[in-house]
Chain A
């Protein structure tokens, strides 16, 4: 008998004996109202406000812009923050447009993020100033972005560089985590890695004092396109 059989055997025995003891009732599961976790019904305005309030409360930056000229906003941010090397993909819409706007125009090196990490790990860890990613959408209730990393925008792009710049569309903000899961049918389509990101990396392990950028990005900048 394997450990698996023994463990499952004990659990099944426990469950069966319990059923016999109390006449087939088993563990009593309390009646619960699942609406406490969804059903917010916020207006578009309220959603936006909540998203921004919560994300900025955890040190995230939200910068609004028109959808059409978001790359100008990007250029401004890159300049402001002194970003010299920006890692990004090249196929995803966001990456394509950013490349178009940036290539040759500014004194910024564009680092190809769509490479097997083994071939550029050292560079990624020590020579990239910022990573640019698109987002799946966001959650108003907690000020969270949701990301499904792709071949073009891999998992480490939103984690390793000191600044993470994320592009979000105002229409893609939903009320709750629950709503996002349901409306995008996560249960039937989970990717290798799905992420909620709410602010820059932080720790309070030194006497409850907040410090940012402990392992992941020190800054999270969300360009919110309207």
Chain B
């Protein structure tokens, strides 16, 4: 049987993590996939000066961010001059309305989609369905996940949580494909099913990997060709993207592309790099007659206000941070309950959804540093996780929605008292003597801490006292020895 449909939310992170850890199938699927991806990435950079390349990637992204408002305006002007219509959306709601509106203007009944995480972030499919428009995912992984009524569990490999048998069952149950373990047969079946849909689709919706301000070009990275189909076959193409995806020059694209494919899947290049600069021109034989670009803010301009959190916007969505994350590998992508899982999800989702809902995500890390080490644009992810933890207990600068949600007066008081004690030696000594005397009264249950550990107990005598006794002892003995000689 394919997995039962389950809804995941960031609020239930702990329960979901607990469930996932107890699911050997999920753990095996992720372990195997992540081990393979880590290996491949390492090999893919073998011939490269990786540090120099990452520095270049970081500098390209930071240069773009430093000029972000100007570049967005330049991108808009270039696109419009090329015939691409540009729309701006403050949030998901507005972005969905824009896309639905374009569909309705064109009398669209069916939409075919290329892989787009921003459209996942917008919950576009549900919105289109409400308007009576059928949206079909065409990336094979997304297609399978959609058939199974799930959401992607990885930003690059959406169906990574499923194994061959599960996929065979899904295809059998939903499309009537004869059960098989032959991947080529399943792929061919999906090809045939989707080809019909490409031809029938009224609108193609895609994401964007890089938007080039200099030329007004939208770049899409892919292996399957569904992105090219989506952006070429239907008469209307709508590209949706976050406002941070813009780069300044065309020459900024090669370093980011080199980093992206190798970091994501360890490929030295993807099958297709698709650069779209205008709709079908007069006399051209194919391609959409209308191309729209929807620039989605959805919290990004707020992130932009903060000097430190701004680094979140460098991200090129390669997924390397999740591939290398020991927590992600063990709990899988759905556990996070958010569009973007793993370390990038933990630093991005609090801005999109607020810390009330996502307060546990920044704590879903051992701060081992692997994510920061592999990030192709050198985002200091661990620092940002720590910063968001501070924000959630109200110790940050408070720019994040829901900041302070985890603040507990008890905890604050406890740390304050401790701080006072630790800076007043006499009081400290007194307190440790008392603690030693009353050690029998120490609680044996301390919330989650004691779920898998024994509770700490104050020692009979503090280390301080013990050392003092020892020194005294020594001095005494030395005095005696000196007296004897």
A10 on the interface (CB 8 Å rule)? yes
Q: Give the residues from 174 to 197 in chain B that come closer than 8 angstroms, CB to CB, to chain A.
A: 183-184, 186-188, 190-191, 194-195
Question: In the complex, how many angstroms separate the beta carbon of B435 from the nearest chain A beta carbon?
Answer: 45
Q: A192-B284, A205-B139 in contact; A200/B271 too (CB < 8 A)?
A: yes
Chain A residues within an 8 Å CB radius of B88: 2-4, 7
Are B275 and A117 neighbours in the complex by a CB distance under 8 Å? Answer: no
Question: In the complex, how many angstroms separate the beta carbon of B236 from the nearest chain A beta carbon?
Answer: 14
Are A206 and B183 neighbours in the complex by a CB distance under 8 Å? Answer: yes
B21 on the interface (CB 8 Å rule)? no
Q: A12-B69, A32-B55, A187-B251 in contact; A122/B33 too (CB < 8 A)?
A: no
Are B286 and A154 neighbours in the complex by a CB distance under 8 Å? Answer: yes
Are A193 and B53 neighbours in the complex by a CB distance under 8 Å? Answer: no
Q: A2 CA to B98 CA in the complex, in Å?
A: 13
B123 on the interface (CB 8 Å rule)? no
B258 on the interface (CB 8 Å rule)? yes
1/0 per position for A187-226, CB-CB distance to B under 8 A? Answer: 1001111111111111111111101011111000000000
Chain A residues within an 8 Å CB radius of B90: 3, 6-7
Question: In the complex, how many angstroms separate the beta carbon of A216 from the nearest chain B beta carbon?
Answer: 3
Are B232 and A156 neighbours in the complex by a CB distance under 8 Å? Answer: yes
Chain B residues within an 8 Å CB radius of A116: 285-286
Chain B residues within an 8 Å CB radius of A42: none
Q: Which of B36, B214, B283 contacts A151 (CB 8 A)?
A: B283
B225 on the interface (CB 8 Å rule)? yes
Chain A residues within an 8 Å CB radius of B286: 116-117, 154-156
Query: Which interface class (under 10, 10 to 19, 20 to 34, 35 or more) fits A?
Result: 35 or more
Are A181 and B55 neighbours in the complex by a CB distance under 8 Å? Answer: no
Most B CB within 10 A of own CB, among A31, A187, A216: A216
List the one stretch of B304-312, B386-394, B443-451, B457-465 in contact with chain A: B304-312
Most A CB within 10 A of own CB, among B55, B191, B278: B191
User: In chain A, what residue has the closest Cβ to B48?
Assistant: A36
Chain A residues within an 8 Å CB radius of B198: 125
A44 on the interface (CB 8 Å rule)? no
Q: A151 CA to B164 CA in the complex, in Å?
A: 42
Chain B residues within an 8 Å CB radius of A195: 228, 272-275
Q: Give the residues from 48 to 78 in chain B that come closer than 8 angstroms, CB to CB, to chain A.
A: 48-49, 52-53, 55-56, 58-60, 62-63, 65-66, 68-69, 72-73
B121 on the interface (CB 8 Å rule)? no
Are A203 and B223 neighbours in the complex by a CB distance under 8 Å? Answer: yes
- 8 A-B pairs with the lowest CB-CB distances in the bound complex, closest first: A216-B225, A205-B141, A142-B269, A215-B225, A196-B273, A154-B285, A32-B59, A27-B66
20 CB < 8 A contacts A-B: A7-B88, A8-B69, A11-B69, A22-B307, A58-B269, A116-B285, A144-B273, A155-B228, A155-B286, A155-B287, A177-B253, A181-B251, A187-B214, A193-B276, A196-B269, A198-B270, A199-B271, A202-B223, A214-B187, A215-B195
Extra 11 A-B pairs, beta carbons < 8 Å, given A143-B268, A198-B271, A208-B32? A7-B295, A8-B73, A143-B269, A177-B258, A194-B217, A195-B275, A205-B140, A206-B183, A207-B162, A207-B163, A214-B187
